[in-house]
Structures are given as structure tokens and as C-alpha cells.
Structure 1
Amino acid sequence: MLFQNDEKGHVIIGEAALSLALGEKEISVATLFTELGHMAKSENNTDRMIQITQARNWLRSFESPAIALQRVPYLQTLAGLNEELN
């Protein structure tokens, strides 16, 4: 699955990023992964749970430093928004 091209995946990650931003927390791969975990704990909808799981699996691919340094426009936009807040 090419998660980065999946609109629903963008929405789920966007929700996690917005939650972090509103809480004035850092937006990073690690914090998004954690926030998605919190979202999963309170989710009862099976479809959304699948989307959250897929988003977490996609983010897990960025655990490697070499991969994390690759340009990912969507995550860079989120990181840029985080920098503007600081």
C-alpha cells in the first residue's frame, strides 16, 4: 500500500498532528506514532482502527535514520508548521 498517497491516511495523521499542535507538543514521527496509539485506545470504529494501524505501520518505516532523512513532503509540511509555532 502506498500510504502516502492515501487520502484517508493523510486525514488520520492530520488528526494526530492537529492534536499535538493544539497541545503545543512537538510534531515528529515519534510523537505522531504515540498520538496515533492514544487515538487507537479510544477508537471503537473498525474502519478507523484499521486506518490508524496502517498509519502507524507507515510511520514505523521512518525509524531508520537513513529513511527518516528522505524527503517526505507531507511530514515536512507538518514539521514546518511545528517550527512556525515555536
Structure 2
Amino acid sequence: MSIQHDVKGHVIIGEAALSLALCEKEISVLSLINELGHMMNAGGSDDRLSMISEARCWLKSLETPEEAVRHVPYLRTLAGLNDEKN
């Protein structure tokens, strides 16, 4: 199943975005990949680690951050939080 259509994948990416926002860090595809890596290193259930890994792989599979934003509208919303912060 593609993470683009997987609600759990959206939740994991949202969790990473919230963590970045609360730390007042930039939200981008690269920062989401990095935050998901930190979440993976923190451990958790096998199911959670699998979801994090799938989300990271999916984000990495996108050729450019612009492509990610175009294909996944909520990433545009998350990235837009950076503009509101500045």
C-alpha cells in the first residue's frame, strides 16, 4: 500500500511535523525525513518502526521537495507554517 493513501503514514508524518513545529524548526521534506529518523532511533513497537521506515522511504523516493508538495497537498500546508512563523 502506498503511504500516500495510508492514514497511519499521514499520522506519522504529522507527528514529525508537529515535533518540528513545537521546537520552532523549519518544516520541509528533508527536515521531516531527519525527524522521522530521530523518531525511529527513539524506538517503539515493530508496527510503529515499520510505519516510520515506510514514511521515510516514501519521502526519500520523491525526486524533489517541490514534487512532494505538488503530490501531497498537506505538505504544502505544513511547509506554509514556516511562513507564518517568520
* TM-score of the superposed pair, with normalisation by structure 2: 0.88
The alignment partner of 2:43 has SS state of coil
Q: Which amino acid aligns with 1:5?
A: H
Deviations 1:27-64 (A, max 9, x none): 001110000000001113100000000000011012x2
How far residue 11 of structure 1 moved from its aligned partner, in angstroms, is 0.6
Task: Count residues with an aligned counterpart.
Answer: 83
C-alpha separation between the residues in 2 aligned to 1:69 and 1:9? 19
Query: 1:59-78 maps to which residues of 2 (within 5 A)?
Result: 59-62=59-62, 64-65=63-64, 68-70=65-67, 71=70, 72-78=72-78
Give runs of ≥4 in structure 1 deviating > 4 Å.
none
Return 31-40 or 74-83, whichever deviates more: 74-83
What is the aligned-residue identity percentage?
A: 61
Return 15-24 or 74-83, whichever deviates more: 74-83
C-alpha separation between the residues in 1 aligned to 2:4 and 2:74? 8
How far residue 81 of structure 1 moved from its aligned partner, in angstroms, is 1.9
C-alpha separation between the residues in 2 aligned to 1:85 and 1:22? 11
Which residue is equivalent to 1:43?
43
How far residue 82 of structure 1 moved from its aligned partner, in angstroms, is 2.3
Structure 2 residues not aligned, in runs of 5+:
none
C-alpha separation between the residues in 1 aligned to 2:23 and 2:48? 22
How far residue 4 of structure 1 moved from its aligned partner, in angstroms, is 1.4
Q: Aligned-pair RMSD on alpha carbons? A: 1.2
Query: 1:1-86 maps to which residues of 2 (within 5 A)?
Result: 1-62=1-62, 64-65=63-64, 68-70=65-67, 71=70, 72-86=72-86
